[in-house]
Amino acid sequence: MSLCQNDIAYDAPEWLTGEHMTGTTIMAVEFADGVVFGADSRTSTGTYVANRVTDKLTQVADKIYCCRSGSAADTQAIADYVKFYLDLQENETNEEPTVEVASRIFQMLCYHNRDMLSASIICAGWDKTNGGQVYCLPLGGMCVRMPFAIGGSGSTYIYGHCDNTYKTGMTEEQCLKFVADAVALAMHRDGSSGGMIRLAVLTKDGCRRLNIPGNQLPTFWSK
């Protein structure tokens, strides 16, 4: 992109014209009483860090959240649409929406606009029908329920770790450690992930938020 100053055209730097991207690490995992999910907090514009403390865990219903990666503008707009539709359904039926309904609305929006959007979503939450659930929606709009899901640019570094570490029947505390360790490992390797780790535990009683500051992240061999 060219800008003009004093009638002299020059090429604008990438950090000034690049799209805001939540190049990121997001993750969610089911446990017996609900779900645990987490994300880093870095938002980048090209190679420039635009925001170090972004909240990528977005509430779309009372007990349903989504983790966002891709274009910040696209994912925020999609989450706003889903929240609107879920509020509308709840007002019409006088019942809380289910996690599956929320994930299918995400899928509809992402799939039908797949050529115009850059959005990868993890939809997770709790409902009285199926308890805690995690749905993974990668680029393109596919929607699959999984016991745990990872996404974003940092996820490519931790597939092996997650496959080796995940065990069925983990407790809430084990899931919190699983998510925190995985996101920290991704942040260590991925230049587009960083900042702090935001965690949340969602059960039938509501959502409990936790934060791990950047100077207290889990460390491994590199400590």
The CB density around residue 5, as the number of other CB atoms within 10 Å, is 7
Q: Which of 24, 25, 45, 98 is catalytic?
A: 24
Higher per-residue pLDDT: 64 or 23: 64
Global pTM reads 0.87
pLDDT classification of 11: cutoffs 50, 70, 90: low
Q: Whose CA is closest to 22, among 211, 190, 182?
A: 190
The CB density around residue 91, as the number of other CB atoms within 10 Å, is 8
209 has a pLDDT exceeding 70: yes
Q: What is the pLDDT of residue 50?
A: 81
Look up 24 and say whether it is catalytic.
yes
DSSP strand E in the chain: where?
Answer: 2-5, 8-11, 20-21, 26-31, 34-39, 43-45, 48-51, 57-61, 64-70, 119-127, 131-137, 144-145, 148-151, 197-203, 206-212
pLDDT classification of 20: cutoffs 50, 70, 90: low
